[in-house]
């Protein structure tokens, strides 16, 4: 509660929250405001924004409504961001917790695997996964989750290393609790706050990764993704630059809102750092 009160006092967090609520509202209202297929033909191609009252953000190269794609794109971006983040955080927590709690050989092996993932450029690994498993929207989301967990694992491991020797853990052991219970019910709740703050970074990166993949035409072509639209606009960049410009702004604002909320959370959970 105290943390929530502090959160509401930081101006950056408020700006972030307002932006985030706006994006969520766009995502929720998309099927109501634009009930037709956003990827269907809507009108004459390449109409500038505000030129036609029916398409207030204009139409793209094939005559699809840009506003409809932006609203439906918000759904896709948020969904991919949330699912991929949950996946990455779950993998990271399990690996980090097991490595940090048991230490020794288990820790060594798991950390080698984590380092292997960290040595590889995220985006390259994502390309490999897409090349092998295809670019269906589910595959892409899972792939993004699979490349994003190492930092979360390291954070969890560090927390576990410092917590596993504490008295309350020893007390649990004396009580005869199982390792699984100690790890997930006793230590994890104490180790969670920094990981939750870091989730905002993962989500911001996940949205950016998907948009980059879609921009390169390697994501699912059958969903209205902001990155896809920017890629479409590339062929008419010299004259109709708005086709690429508008979805880019949408990505920028969404990622900005997520990282602002994350920063606000960080300030609220670590009040000592607030002066920085």
Binding stretches for other proteins (CB under 8 A): 112-113, 115-116, 118-133, 204, 208, 211-212, 215-216, 218, 227, 230, 233-234, 237-238, 241, 244-245, 248, 251-253, 255-256, 259-260, 276
Choice between 142 and 177, CB closer to other proteins:
142
Rg (CA), the chain: 22
DSSP character at residue 47: P
Nearer CB in complex with other proteins: 42/209: 209
Question: Which of 171/245 has CB closer to other proteins?
Answer: 245
Minimum distance between the CB of residue 61 and other proteins, rounded to whole angstroms?
15
Q: Residue 83 or 125: which CB sits closer to other proteins?
A: 125
Q: Report the alpha-carbon angle 61-51-245, nearest 5.
A: 50
- Burial (CB count <10 Å: 0-12, 13-18, 19+), residue 176: exposed
Shortest distance in whole angstroms from residue 239 CB to other proteins: 9
Residue number, 123 or 192, with CB nearest to other proteins: 123
Query: Min. distance of Cβ 144 from other proteins in angstroms?
Result: 13
Question: In whole angstroms, how close is the CB of 169 to other proteins at the nearest point?
Answer: 29
Q: Smaller CB distance to other proteins: residue 42 or 130?
A: 130
In the complex, least distance from residue 32 CB atom to other proteins, rounded to whole angstroms: 28
CB of 204 to other proteins, least distance (A): 7
* DSSP assignment of 5-45: HHHTT-HHHHHHHHHHHHHHHHHHHHHHH--S-TTS--SSS
> Measured on CA atoms in the order 143, 147, 151, 156, is the torsion positive or negative?
positive
Phi/psi of residue 93, each to 5°? -65, -45
Of residues 156 and 219, the one with the C-beta less far from other proteins: 219
- Buried/exposed code over 29-67 (b: 16+ C-beta within 10 A; e: otherwise): ebeeebeeebbeebeebbbebeeeeebebbbbeeebbbb
- Please give the distance of CA 255 from its chain centroid, rounded to a whole number: 8
Q: Which residues contact 146 (CB under 8 A, 6 or more apart)?
A: 87, 88, 91, 125, 129
CB of 37: closest distance to other proteins in angstroms?
A: 25
């Amino acid at each position: 509660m105290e943390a929530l009160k502090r959160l509401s006092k930081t101006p950056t967090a408020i700006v972030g929250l307002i932006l985030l609520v706006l994006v969520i509202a766009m995502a929720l209202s998309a099927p109501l405001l634009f009930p037709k297929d956003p990827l269907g033909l809507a009108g004459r191609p390449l109409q500038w924004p505000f030129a036609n009252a029916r398409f207030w953000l204009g139409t793209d190269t094939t005559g699809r409504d840009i506003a409809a794609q932006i609203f439906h794109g918000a759904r896709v971006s948020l969904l991919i961001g949330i699912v991929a983040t949950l996946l990455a955080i779950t993998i990271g927590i399990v690996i980090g917790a097991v490595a940090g709690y048991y230490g020794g050989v288990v820790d060594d092996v798991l950390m080698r695997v984590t380092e292997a993932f960290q040595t590889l450029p995220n985006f390259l690994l994502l390309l490999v996964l897409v090349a092998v498993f295809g670019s269906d929207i589910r595959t892409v989301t899972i792939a993004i989750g699979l490349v994003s967990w190492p930092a979360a694992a390291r954070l969890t491991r560090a927390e576990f290393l410092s917590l596993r020797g504490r008295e309350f853990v020893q007390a649990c052991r004396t009580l005869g609790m199982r390792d699984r219970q100690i790890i997930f019910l006793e230590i994890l709740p104490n180790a969670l706050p920094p990981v939750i703050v870091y989730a905002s970074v993962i989500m911001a990166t996940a949205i950016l990764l998907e948009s980059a993949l879609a921009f390169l035409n390697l994501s699912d072509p059958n969903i209205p993704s902001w990155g896809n639209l920017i890629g479409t606009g590339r062929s008419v960049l010299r004259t109709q630059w708005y086709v690429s410009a508008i979805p880019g702004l949408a990505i920028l604002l969404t990622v900005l809102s997520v990282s602002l909320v994350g920063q606000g959370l960080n300030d609220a959970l670590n009040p000592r750092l607030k002066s920085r």
